[in-house]
Structure 1
Amino acid sequence: MTDQPSEPTAHGVRIVGQPGDATISIDGDTLPRGRVIGYTLEHDVAKSLPLLILHVREPAEVAWNGFARVAVATTADLGQAVADFVLGIDPAAVQRAALERTDLTGSKHEITEAILKQIADWAQGRN
């Protein structure tokens, strides 16, 4: 499909989230429990509608009925995604978090190692 809609289509979204669980409804339809394993919500108020990216667990059979705008990441996109993530990190926050780690090694490069471990933890959604 190559046609792009002239205006973005908005859907009503409701998220009730707490550690370990989230209930997500789109246009009043609640997604099956246990299907969503994570989500990212982005919004640049001045430029666009919010963007909700759902990370889902695929069942044995995948069935879909409806309309969607689909973007598929390629390996080429991975480098830019990593760069965007790293450039979005607050240097002071990562330094504070790295210095507070309990797994500092005392090695010659422990600060750099702690910063890299902290960035990896944040990338995986861990504090």
Structure 2
Amino acid sequence: MNEQTFADEPHTVRITADGHTATVVLDGADMSRALAGYTLEHRVGQPPLLVLYPSPRHSAAFDGLAHVAVAETTDPGPAVAEFLRHINPTALDQAALQRNDLDGSPNELTKAMLAQLIDWAEGRT
């Protein structure tokens, strides 16, 4: 399936940076408050590539055409925290104690709990 993205056609981009802050305007719309950051890359013979990093909270200079891509966040912390919030401690205790990989080693229960959490995170029961 060929789905069109921002990167398919160049967009008008204006970036004004002054130290720790930047204003990023894309096709006339100020995107600054919706961004956690951006990367601007330009290789000889190609139009610039602007990668936008959306901010989880909605709270240098360049002026010209650029291909634009929206990056996925790579910080797994929020997803891991959300997963752990939904873990039933009693169910985790029971599942860890019933594992067949308990070996009597130090920290075996912690190892079993971590292994069980990995199994659940990967969709195994």
TM-score category of the 2 structures, normalised to the smaller one: 0.3 to 0.5
More strand by share: 2
Rg comparison, structure with higher value: 2
TM-score of the two chains, using structure 2 as the length reference: 0.44
